Amino acid sequence: SSIRYYSVVRQGFEYVNEDDVNYFKSVLGERNVITDEEELAIVNTDWLKTMKGSSGVLLQPSCPSEVSKVLSYCNSRRLAVVPQGGNTGLVGGSVPIFDEIVLSTKRLNKILSLDPVTGILSCESGCILEALDNKAAEYDLMMPLDLGAKGSCHIGGNVATNAGGIRLLRYGNLHGSILGLEAVLANGERLDMMTTNKKDNTGYDLKHLFVGSEGTLGIITKVAVQCAQRPNSFHVAFLGLESFENVLKTVQSAKQSLNEILSSCEFMDDESMECVTKNLGLRLPIQRHPFYMLLETSGSSSYHDEEKLNDFLEKSFNSGVILDGTLTGEPSKIKDMWALRERIAEGLLRDGYCYKYDVSVPLSKFYDLVTDMRERLGSSVVRCCGYGHLGDGNLHLNLTGEIFDPDVFALIEPYVYERVGDWKGSISAEHGLGYKKRNYIHLSKSQSAISLMQQLKSLLDPNGILNPYKVLPSFK
C-alpha cells in the first residue's frame, strides 16, 4: 500500500463517469482508453514501489491533436490528469495520488526529423531515450544526455524533469540542448515553440518554463534536441581511493589533465559497491576500497585519449592519491564498469524500502552528509550509502530498510534537507520535487520565487487539473 509521507486531501475535482469514458473512446479509440485493473495497477505504481494511486482510467493518445482534445475536455469537466512517460521518476511525480486520469505519452513515439549537418533531432515526446540515441548513432551523433533509465524513460519525461545524468558534466543540462518544444496547455491549446534554430533571442524564451515543470504546466508533445557529435573513442578508468580528501584531489586533477576529453566523473562509496556486488552479483574490477571513482573520457582519437589518461593515472599513482585502478577501452568491459555505477538504484531496491535523496552540496561537504547520516541512523537502517555525479556536485544519498519505518523516516526528514539548506545546496539536484519533496521547496527557493511559480501555475492551469499535489507546496 501507498506511503502518505504527509497528510494530503483530495481537491474538489470531478470523478470520471461513463459519459467521460465514452467521450475519450470516441477521440482515442476503444483500445486506447484503458480501464483494466491489471494494466492500471502498473501505471498507478511508481518505479520505487512507494506510491500507489487509484486511477481508474489510462489514456493513450497517438498525436498532439488527440492530447489537445482530451485536455480541453478534462479542463471543462474539471477532471485531474497526471502526464506519464516511462514512469521511471523517483519523486512520486508520475503517478496519481488519488484517482487522477493517467495520460501516457507511450504512443507519441514518432521521430519527425534529424538533420545530419546541424545534428538537430525533432520528435514526439514519447520516444524512448535509447531509441533516439540509436537513431542518432546512425548519423555519428549522440543524444546529449544519458542515464541509467535510458531503456524506458521518454524524452518528454526527461525534459519535464530536466533530467541530468552521467554526461551533464560535458554537455550541460536540457535548458541548453532543447532548442524547441510543443506543449499542450490545460485548456487544450497547443503552444508551438518548436524552433530548430540554435539561436533565437526573440522575446521571452518560454520553452524553459516547461523544462523541469514536471507535468504541472502543460503536456510536452514534441521536442527539438541538439545532438552532440558521437565520439569515436571511449575509455573508462575505475579507481580505488582511501580517503574522500583524495577523491577531491582527483576530481581537480582529472579536470585539469583530461579537460576536453573528460565526459563523466562519478563517485561511489564502498557501501554502494557492496550493494551491487551482494544484491546483483556484479563483480568489482579492483580490490575493495573505501571510495571509488569512475572516470570516462571520450574524444576523436583513441591514441591521444589513452595517452592522456595513462599520464594522468601515472601521476596520480605516483603521488599516492590513487591506490588502485584499472583502465579499459574495450566496449564490453566499459559496459561492465558502467553497470557497477548505473545499477546501484536497482540494487538498493533489493534491500526492501529505499529512502532516496538527490542533493547538490558544496564539494567540501559532499561526503559529510553521508557520514553524518550513518552516525545518526546507526543500525536502524540496513544501508546508508553515497554515490553520484561528483563532477557536478550532485550526491545521491540513499538509506535502505526492510520496510518503510516512520520512526526512521522522522530521523531523516526534515533533518537531511535542513543540512542541505544550511549549506545553500539544492534539496533536489536532478530528480525534481514531484510529490515527495514539494514541501521542502522553500529550502532551495526564495518566497518571492515560489509565489511567482504559483502565479504562473494559476495563469497556465487555472483549474489546477495538471498533476495536482506535485511540485508546488501544499501550503500557500
Examine residue 160 and tell whether it contacts ligand FAD (CB under 6 A). yes
Residue pair 235/306 in contact by the 8 Å Cβ criterion: yes
What is the rounded CA–CA span in Å between residue 99 and residue 278?
39
What is the rounded CA–CA span in Å between residue 115 and residue 117?
6
Least distance to ligand 2HG, CB of residue 396, Å? 3
Question: In this chain, which of 148, 180, 231, 240 binds ligand FAD, going by CB under 6 A?
Answer: 148
Positions in the binding site for ligand 2HG (CB under 6 A): 148, 344-345, 356, 358, 396, 398
Query: Which of 212, 464 has the CB closer to ligand 2HG?
Result: 212
Examine residue 127 and tell whether it contacts ligand FAD (CB under 6 A). no
Examine residue 384 and tell whether it contacts ligand FAD (CB under 6 A). no
Q: Which does 220 bind (CB under 5 to 8 A by kind): ligand 2HG, ligand FAD, none?
A: ligand FAD
Grid cell 524552433 is found at 195
Nearest to 298 by CA among 389, 237, 225: 237
Applying CB under 6 A, the span of 27-35, 81-89, 234-242, 259-267 interacting with ligand FAD comes to 81-89
Examine residue 246 and tell whether it contacts ligand FAD (CB under 6 A). no
What is the rounded CA–CA span in Å between residue 432 and residue 356?
12
Residue pair 463/30 in contact by the 8 Å Cβ criterion: no
Mark out the alpha helices in 123-206 (DSSP H runs): 129-137, 155-161, 168-171, 174-177
The separation between CA 132 and the C-alpha centre of its own chain, rounded to angstroms, equals 17
What is the rounded CA–CA span in Å between residue 467 and residue 432?
14
Least distance to ligand 2HG, CB of residue 316, Å? 24
Query: Which of 46, 358 has the CB closer to ligand 2HG?
Result: 358
Amino acid at 201: N
Quote the cell numbers at residue 423. 549549506
Peptide bond between residue 468 and the one before it cis (omega within 30 degrees of 0):
no
Residue pair 128/152 in contact by the 8 Å Cβ criterion: yes
Question: In this chain, which of 102, 153, 228, 293 binds ligand FAD, going by CB under 6 A?
Answer: 153
Query: Which of 27, 282 has the CB closer to ligand 2HG?
Result: 282
Q: What is the number of other CB atoms lying within 10 angstroms of the CB of residue 129?
A: 25
Q: Which does 463 bind (CB under 5 to 8 A by kind): ligand FAD, ligand 2HG, none?
A: none
Query: Which of 377, 456 has the CB closer to ligand FAD?
Result: 456
What is the rounded CA–CA span in Å between residue 428 and residue 413?
14
Query: Which of 153, 460 has the CB closer to ligand 2HG?
Result: 153
- x/- site string to ligand FAD, residues 161 to 200, per CB under 6 A? x-xxx-----------------------------------
Least distance to ligand FAD, CB of residue 145, Å? 8
Residues at the site binding ligand FAD, with contacts judged by CB under 6 A = 47, 82-90, 93-94, 105, 125, 147-149, 153-154, 156-158, 160-161, 163-165, 214-215, 219-220, 345, 430-431, 434, 467, 470
